[in-house]
Amino acid sequence: MWVILYGVIIAISWIQIRGLWSQSNKRDSLIYIVTMSFSLTILILFQLGVPIPNPLEWISVVYDPVHSFFQ
């Protein structure tokens, strides 16, 4: 079932990329490819059961020292 979902996502992406490429939006198509590749990678890792860290944890690690400085 997941193979069908991945196939549909890739087919829709291919249609979008062809449209962007024919309009000479090479930069937009490159950004679209990178974004979709990142999204598919996260989706596949999630389906395989690999623990994916929460981005809010990274933000709190960065901003906790700043927050404590202003208190």
Q: Where do the structural domains in the chain lie, given as residue ranges?
A: 2-70
pLDDT at 50: 93
Structure-token pair, residue 26: 């090479």
| Cα 62 from Cα 60, distance rounded (Å) | 5
Summarize pLDDT for 2-55 with one digit per residue, the tens: 778 778 888 888 888 788 777 777 888 888 888 888 988 888 898 889 998 888
* pLDDT over threshold 80, residue 1: no
Question: Would the pTM of this model clear 0.75, i.e. be above it?
Answer: no
Q: Which residue has the higher pLDDT, 1 or 52?
A: 52
Cβ proximity of 9 and 40 under 8 Å: yes
